[in-house]
Amino acid sequence: MRFAGHSKYQEALNSQEGLSTLCLEAIQITKAFPGVVANDRIDIEVRSGEVLCLLGENGAGKSTLISILSGMQQPDSGTIKINGKISEINSPRIAKDLGIGVVYQHSTLISTLTVLENLMLGDTGKVLLDVKGAKEKLLTLASLLGGAIDPNTLAGDLALGQQQQVEIAKAMWGGSNILILDEPTSMLTPQAVQDLQASLESLKREGLAVIFITHKLHEAFALGDAVTVLRAGRKVLHLSTRQIGELSESQTREIILKSMFGSDSSAESNSVEVLTEMDTGSENVSHHKQRDLADSKIILELKGVSSTSQYNEVEVTDVTLSIRRGEVYGIAGIDGHGQRSLAEAIVGQRSISRGQLFFEGLDVSKMNVRQRQSLGFRYVTDDRLHEGIVGSLSVALNLFIKRIGQRPYWRMGQINWSALNEEASRLIEKFSIKTPSLTTRGGTLSGGNIQKILLARELAFDPKVVVFNKPTYGLDFKTVALVRGLLKEFVSQGGTVLLISTDLDELTELCDRISIISRGKIVGTVDNNSTKIAEEIGAFMVGDSQ
């Protein structure tokens, strides 16, 4: 009965005003998680009949924003206006009733049910299934989406593109007028992307407002009318449909790439200023001093390394690289493209299925974590909270969980508290870890201080090679500076670093060479000696390298 929606679209279409009305407006949305501000005063707006592309790297705050708009999470502050009316979206159900439909990144269809059954799962408040009504509704939606789908096919038998259409139909089942698509193309073939584009065109004509989330630039060009770029939880750029119309495609591309990856401190500036500040932005690039490492000994060498594990993650395939003593080797790439597998394969937490890993010429491929640790391998993990520390153990013990059973902190299998506490106090002092006491539970500290615990643990006991995985992700400005300072200090003392990061500023500031990883493979390597390096890497990352 709520599918009076269709006539609503017609209304919008007929009324000339309707085409440009603000459908959804999010004002100054802020959402913080312990240690991370995921959304920092973000504004977005989308009009009916418009596709707004929300661009940003992983961790930029897209997902948080979407979960706020879809009622899965509540913002700490900020307001949301739907059709000009302030609305509180307290639950997914309310979002649905307000006409917000969401298509999630991963399929939510149940493969053993038919298309129709999948769609009717969303029908609430009815005792009997209204099969006839549902079929009619599907017919209307299918024509809108531009494809005929047999309602009695099992969802699992559909091609991915068709599944996508069913997902969209499912999102619109309650009669939505705002459609949110969360990285919908991540699992589609190029042909299916074109179909999706056609579907979106017709939805636009019906007057729907669409928010399209992606990190691929060419999709944003193909599908979007307006563009909003998020970076590190802030809105750094908004280009309205009109503004884009006034710029050439290459200009737009440059502006967007710059705001996504560029090294100017535009995170603070707002959309209007970005356009004017463009020329001055490049002055702020912190120049990396090119060092000559050609004479330096190769410390770490990967030869065709592929990894395996129990987990359903992207594994690395055929990675070959070598790192010299005193070098900082960067790995850039969009999050989730095998960075963790690479790090874990190097430190021994993940087994190497093919290829070899050499440390100072010694084949260490078969060694376990402990053995590699004793050679001088260290790993600053990106999963600080659940892997790096044990939240329920004290700060002091967390500093020593990689030295359990070792003298002088353990004697005959028993903890030697005086030696351990003395060393722990020294480390807390040296790395300025702010903790109420040695016995405070590690999990109660802030993200920055937890990271300091990790750094103290990895850097204190004579490290040779340190793998840093997103070491400054989600940290405040001061701690970021501290972390980078420690890394530089370590390298200046002859240490070797593999730095994995999604933050290009960080990579260009610290690294000598940078490889770009995509789907578990190294797709390119650049020497860090050009001022345009961030843009070069950015192009590799979005698969847009010319």
Partner 1 sequence: MKSRKLGVDFIRTVLPVLLALFSGGLLLLILGKNPINFYSDIWRFGIAKKSWQDSATMFAPMLLVAVGLIVVFRANLWNLGYDGQYLIGAALISGFSPYLTQHMSVWLAWFLLSIMAAAAGAAVTIIPAWLKAKFGTNEIITSLMMSFITIGFANILIKGPFQDPNIVVPQTKVLPLNHMLPHIPGTRISIGLIVALAMAFGVHYLLSRTSFGLKLDIYGASSKSAQHAGISVPKMVFTLFLISGALIGLASSVDILGHWGYVRTNWNPSYGNAILPFVFLGRLNVLASLPFVMFYSVLATGGAISTQRSGLSSDFLLVIVALILLFMTVIEYIGTKQDLGQSYIPSGLKRFLKFSKSEGDLG
Site for partner 1, rule CB under 8 A: 90-91, 93-94, 310, 349, 368-370, 373, 379, 381, 383, 386-393, 397, 401-402, 404-405, 410, 413-415
Q: Using CA atoms, how far apart are residues 267 and 504, in angstroms rounded to an integer?
A: 13
Is the CB of residue 155 less than 8 Å from the CB of residue 111? yes
Cβ 430 to partner 1 shortest distance, Å: 21
Is the CB of residue 87 less than 8 Å from the CB of residue 98? yes
Q: Using CA atoms, how far apart are residues 298 and 358, in angstroms rounded to an integer?
A: 9
Tokens of 355: 């290829």
Q: Which residues of 335-373 are buried (b: 16+ CB within 10 A; e: fewer)?
A: bebbbbbbbbbbbbbbebeebebbbeeeebbebeeeebb
Cβ 125 to partner 1 shortest distance, Å: 11
Cβ 385 to partner 1 shortest distance, Å: 9
Cβ 384 to partner 1 shortest distance, Å: 11
* C-beta of 258 vs 457, nearer to partner 1: 457
* C-beta of 205 vs 370, nearer to partner 1: 370
* C-beta of 159 vs 404, nearer to partner 1: 404
**For the chain, what percentages of helix, strand and coil (3-state, to nearest 5) are there?**
40, 25, 35
* C-beta of 90 vs 545, nearer to partner 1: 90
Cβ 388 to partner 1 shortest distance, Å: 7
Question: Which residue is associated with the tokens 């000339």?
Answer: 16
Q: Which residues of 99-113 are buried (b: 16+ CB within 10 A; e: fewer)?
A: bbbbbeeebbbeeee
Helix (H) or strand (E) holding 273: helix 271-281
Cβ 99 to partner 1 shortest distance, Å: 14
Is the CB of residue 205 less than 8 Å from the CB of residue 196? no
Cβ 293 to partner 1 shortest distance, Å: 30
Rg (CA), the chain: 26
Cβ 374 to partner 1 shortest distance, Å: 9
* C-beta of 176 vs 271, nearer to partner 1: 176
* C-beta of 280 vs 312, nearer to partner 1: 312
* C-beta of 443 vs 543, nearer to partner 1: 443
* C-beta of 260 vs 357, nearer to partner 1: 357
Using alpha carbons, select from 197, 191, 213, 174 the residue that is nearest to residue 94: 174
| Single-letter code of the amino acid located at 320 | T
Collect all residues with Cβ–Cβ distance below 8 Å to 18 and sequence separation of at least 6: 11, 12, 48, 49, 207
